[in-house]
């Protein structure tokens, strides 16, 4: 199912497992999703944001239209700080860095959907990264997206020659995509107080 990390009268935070859609897709075989599962326990739940199907980690659900607007505005204004954990192929020698490549959807590839770097027609996308641990052939990194483009972290890491392990589109397929939404720092939509949500990666 899924793990409930926080719940109150305003919103719910859960840990989405890898391989599960956040919202339903097209077709009867794509109706099982995190949103429908959350609705079974919280019938008033409303979507706030999404994760890729193969990405695991923190997802928020509002429990009223007012809270949904509040949280959506915090995301839009980039008031919510996000940290992802990833394992990438290769050894990154620098300790930290920034990827500042604009992105757009690849209109020539529809299935699976793909995005690419385009310095002319792409939309601004910025990702900060920091090395956490170096292995024999991989590097564990913390990723800090400053924008919220589709597939941003996956394309950005591939663009600097360190694709995320298990990425079936931008890297080499493995048992799972080694990408996890670990922390969210936001303002509580009811009280305005800062709140930090944490969901440690299982890898």
With left for phi above 0 and alpha for psi between -120 and 50, is residue 72 left, alpha or beta? alpha
167 is catalytic: no
C-alpha 187/C-alpha 65 separation (Å) is 17
Name residues whose C-beta falls within 8 Å of residue 200's C-beta, 6 or more positions apart in sequence.
182
- Catalytic residue (choose from 44, 52, 54, 106): 52
The phi, psi pair for 68, rounded to 5°, reads -60, -45
State how far the Cα of 83 lies from the Cα of 70, in Å rounded to an integer: 20
CB 165 within 8 A of CB 171: yes
CA-nearest of 37, 57, 29 to 143 is 57
Helices (H), the chain: 34-41, 65-76, 152-159
In this structure, what DSSP letter does residue 164 have? B
Catalytic residues: 52
């Amino acid at each position: 199912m899924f793990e409930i990390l926080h719940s109150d009268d305003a919103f719910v935070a859960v840990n989405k497992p890898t391989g599960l859609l956040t919202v339903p897709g097209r077709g009867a075989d794509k109706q099982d999703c995190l949103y429908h599962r959350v609705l079974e326990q919280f019938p008033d739940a409303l979507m706030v944001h999404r994760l890729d199907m193969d990405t695991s980690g923190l997802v928020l659900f509002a429990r009223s239209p007012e809270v949904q607007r509040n949280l959506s505005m915090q995301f839009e204004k980039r008031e919510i700080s996000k940290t992802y954990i990833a394992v990438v192929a290769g050894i990154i020698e620098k300790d930290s860095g920034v990827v500042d490549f604009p992105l757009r959807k690849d209109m020539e590839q529809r299935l699976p959907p793909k995005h690419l770097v385009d310095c002319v027609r792409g939309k601004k996308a910025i990702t900060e990264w920091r090395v956490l641990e170096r292995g024999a052939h991989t590097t564990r990194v913390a990723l800090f997206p400053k924008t919220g483009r589709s597939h941003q972290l996956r394309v950005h890491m591939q663009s600097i020659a360190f694709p995320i392990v298990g990425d079936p589109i931008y890297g080499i397929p493995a048992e799972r995509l080694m990408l996890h939404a670990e922390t969210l720092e936001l303002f509580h939509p009811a009280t305005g107080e800062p709140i930090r949500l944490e969901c440690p990666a299982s890898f």
